[in-house]
Amino acid sequence: MLNNNKHVLCEKPLTLHLDDTQQLIELARKQGKYLMEGIWSRCFPAYKQLKEELAQQTIGEVRLLTCNYGFARRSVPNLTERDMGGGILFNVGCYAVQLANLVFGSEKPVSVKASALFNSTGADDTTAVILQYASGAMAQFMVSMSMKLDSTAKIVGTTGEMELPGTFIAPTELRVNQQTRLFPLPAADPRFKTNYTNSVGLAYQAEEARQCILSGQIENPWMTFEDSSRSAQLMERICKETGLKYD
């Protein structure tokens, strides 16, 4: 699409390999076309507020991030088949990875520990990750497609804490030091059914892409090229730890 001068909003993960992600970004720059990895979470108002609270150090220095996401197995080939890019890390774990990158900014983990359980196709069914940073902070998460897990994210700082309750992937509220801010979803036509929790929120991402394209921007300020590159780097490190490979 980029080679044919089309703007691209690409479903996550952008690619399965760091080198491919970097090549796509360079191609977008060369072509002068908009490219965004579809991490829709970043466009939710709750995420934008979260980023502002982090910048203001409302909870002090961040010491810990925890989040999980799990559901009963779905027989969907692009989720379960390794040869189709299946596996829980790339399909769901990418949301935890991007949140860690958002919370800790440009700081890269000095230690990445991960373990995974694999299905018969070689795709990871359940993956657990612990990240440690030079500052002494940590992040930990587990994602699974064979068990239901709490989908809340919590960020603990030296003077308080924040929480994305319900589902940290598509949140409609943010709790900061026990104070809750609500962010109602956009209005939707009830005649049209949605497939996933709070998926009406995809409208946020669509509008972000539209505004960037109209203003001539080739990357989104909430999910930049650097954001995608850093996520791909961390995903690659996790894969090396677990032994997950995509040919």
Break the chain into its structural domains and give their ranges: 42-178+195-212+226-242
Q: What gap in Å lies between CA 90 and CA 97, rounded to an integer?
A: 10
Reported as a pLDDT band with limits 50, 70 and 90, residue 247 is confident
Place of tokens 């909870």: 59
Q: Is 89 helix (H, G, I), strand (E, B) or coil?
A: helix
- Whether the CB-CB separation of 87 and 16 falls below 8 Å is answered with no
Predicted TM-score (pTM) of this structure: 0.95
Q: What gap in Å lies between CA 235 and CA 94, rounded to an integer?
A: 8
Q: What gap in Å lies between CA 160 and CA 152, rounded to an integer?
A: 17
Q: What is the DSSP string of 90-113?
A: IIIIHHHHHHHHHHHTTPPPSEEE
Percent above pLDDT 90 for the chain: 92
Reported as a pLDDT band with limits 50, 70 and 90, residue 196 is confident
The architecture of the domain spanning 42-178+195-212+226-242 is 2-Layer Sandwich (3.30)
pLDDT, tens digit, 9 for 90 and up, residues 41-82: 999 999 999 999 999 999 999 999 999 999 987 778 889 999
What pLDDT shows up at residue 39?
98
Q: What are phi and psi of 201, to 5 degrees?
A: -65, -10
pLDDT, tens digit, 9 for 90 and up, residues 222-232: 999 999 999 99
Vertex 22 angle, CA 10 and 89, to 5°: 60
Q: What gap in Å lies between CA 224 and CA 29, rounded to an integer?
A: 12
What pLDDT shows up at residue 72?
87
Per-residue pLDDT for 205 more than 80?
A: yes
- Whether the CB-CB separation of 98 and 104 falls below 8 Å is answered with no
Q: Which two tokens stand for residue 104?
A: 């800790």
Q: What gap in Å lies between CA 65 and CA 160, rounded to an integer?
A: 13
Nearest residue to 155 via CA among 135, 171, 140, 172: 140
Q: Which two tokens stand for residue 56?
A: 């203001």
pLDDT, tens digit, 9 for 90 and up, residues 21-48: 999 999 999 999 999 999 999 999 999 9
pLDDT, tens digit, 9 for 90 and up, residues 94-151: 999 999 999 999 999 999 999 999 999 999 999 999 999 999 999 999 999 999 999 9
Helix axis angle, 225-242 to 18-31, nearest 10°: 170
End-to-end CA distance of the chain: 23
